[in-house]
Amino acid sequence: MSNTEQRRSFLKVGSIAAAFALATERLHNHAHAQTPSASGDAASAADSTPDADYDGFSRFKPSRGNDPDSDYYLGKLVPGFRKPAEGPAPFEAPDVPKLPYKMDNGVKIFELVPMAVQQEFHPGVKMNVYGFNESMPGPTIEVTQGDRVRIVVTNELPEDTFVHWHGFELPVQYDGAATLTQNPIKPGQTMVFEFDIHEEGTFFYHSHVAMQEAFGQVGWFIVQPKKIFDPPVDRDFGLIFQNFHIPPTHTVSDSWAMDWNWHTINGKSGPYTTPLVCKHGERVRVRLLNFSPMQHHPIHLHGHTFWVTGHEGARIPKTAWVPRNNELVGVAQSSSFEFIANNPGDWIFHCHMIHHMMNHMVRQVGPRIRDDASVDQYLTNLRSRPPVDASHQESFATPGYPQKMQGMEMSEDFMQAIWNRKEVRGMRANYAMAVKGLMTVVRVLPEDLYDLVMHSDQQVEKGAVFAEIVRRFGDPGAYQAAPKMKM
């Protein structure tokens, strides 16, 4: 049994404290070992690792490098642990399935079905949108540069549709640009698209009927390069950002709206978005597609500086890469963010557009900001309403109060669904209060904690992993755990 296997089997049965103890012990023996602990003993071990330090940039701790012109400044060309011979890291779009294919005479055949779907934006909140193959966004098509593809599109919508292969330099008849290039695919009818793919990079497909696009019809079309991009990455995540307008009491998205009150990443809305979990020191790529009807997304990653290495058209030559904390992604644009995950912790990754940082922002007036008033009082007796409680706290002496959303209530079922995912194990008990709308979390975990979170059956207490990271890398004396009530 390898060391890793031993550790995993232990994690499945042991206690978290024991697991940490063992994991810490392993740190000293492991090659790309984890990071320096707060004790400092491990720090020297990490620093001595050959690939831990690149011209002043450390894979394992926040650092910038010695020279902005260096290839390794901010980890620009610092490779991941993955060997190029292993091929590209698998593309992973959390919560979005991959579209399987069949081979026929060297042609990859995909079957794509435009259809109406119910997409669960929040636990139990199933919104009516259009998608493909029972998913919104549609399933990911992943191929390799040089493949020939045949995509059989069968329209299960009750109306005409078209599918456009966004960015491909293909024969015009397969472009899908509505009746400019083809006849509509009628309800129940099938149309076959077949073309060679000479491109590499980040592409997507979408309906070419405007409102169907606004109504959710998009999916990834990832083309892995024949020659793996240098430097190789360990993780290749994909996130599709979308906006919808869904009125209160409703589930149907109003694609005619000019204002947007529901925001999704891969069809989920924060805090139901699935965190991107990676190991400390890995090179991570996040491809981000903005498929909102009309709003741009300034995307911000906390705790790291990333390089913008590509857009939807193609990989950017290294000389043109830009380091940023915030990247503006326009409508129907895709950006690739690459960074070395050298700062352990749970880092929020979000659109910085204020109104996208929560769903359906409603004006904070009424019972929820009044003393001793709850909506349940009103619901209990609809025929006669309680008298208004007009007394207000002193906080109201401040013009502008309250700016923070008050009285957020998350039901037990809701919280159960949030916590019922392995990716969130050990996060702070009230993390869900922070992650809303177009927000997700990049979790950078030392390998033992990564295994604990992603592979063990261990009961992990809320906040335990975060506290352990603070213990190892932070200032545990000044740390306060989250209150656990209501969670």
Contact of 160 with 217, CB cutoff 8 Å: no
Give 186 or 486: the residue with its C-beta nearer to another protein. 486
**Alpha helix (H) ranges present in 324-463?**
375-380, 412-419, 447-455
Q: Work out which of 382, 412, 478, 483 binds another protein, going by CB under 8 A.
A: 382
Cα gap 56→71, rounded to integer Å: 11
Q: Work out which of 40, 50, 106, 248 binds another protein, going by CB under 8 A.
A: 248
Check binding of 404 to another protein (CB under 8 A): no
The sign of the CA dihedral 199, 202, 207, 211 is: negative
Q: Quick one: which segment of 59-67, 161-169, 280-288, 371-379 binds another protein (CB under 8 A)?
A: 371-379
What does residue 181 show for φ and ψ, rounded to 5 degrees? -125, -10
Min CB(122)–another protein separation in Å: 10
Contact of 370 with 392, CB cutoff 8 Å: yes
Give 107 or 434: the residue with its C-beta nearer to another protein. 434
Check binding of 391 to another protein (CB under 8 A): yes
Q: Quick one: which segment of 145-153, 157-165, 300-308, 382-390 binds another protein (CB under 8 A)?
A: 382-390
Unique residue bearing structure tokens 């070992």? 33
Give 366 or 474: the residue with its C-beta nearer to another protein. 366
Give 74 or 358: the residue with its C-beta nearer to another protein. 358
Q: Work out which of 180, 192, 210, 408 binds another protein, going by CB under 8 A.
A: 408
Min CB(351)–another protein separation in Å: 19
Three-class SS of residue 216? coil
Check binding of 2 to another protein (CB under 8 A): no
The closest alpha carbon to 406, from 439, 369, 435, 444, belongs to: 369
Cα-atom radius of gyration of the chain, to the nearest Å?
A: 24
What does residue 241 show for φ and ψ, rounded to 5 degrees? -95, 130
Give residues with Cβ within 8 angstroms of 424, minimum separation 6: 275, 418, 431
Q: Work out which of 84, 323, 366, 474 binds another protein, going by CB under 8 A.
A: 366
Check binding of 396 to another protein (CB under 8 A): yes
Q: Count Cβ neighbours within 10 Å for each residue of 311-350 and write b for 16 or more, e otherwise.
A: bbeeebeeeebeebeebebeebbbbbbbbbbbbbbbbbbb
Give 302 or 370: the residue with its C-beta nearer to another protein. 370
Give 227 or 486: the residue with its C-beta nearer to another protein. 486
Unique residue bearing structure tokens 């989250």? 482
Min CB(430)–another protein separation in Å: 17
Q: How many residues sit close enough to another protein to count as binding (CB under 8 A)?
A: 39
Give 7 or 268: the residue with its C-beta nearer to another protein. 268
| Residues near another protein, by CB under 8 A | 248-249, 359-360, 362-370, 375-376, 378-379, 382, 384-388, 390-394, 396-397, 399-403, 405, 407-409
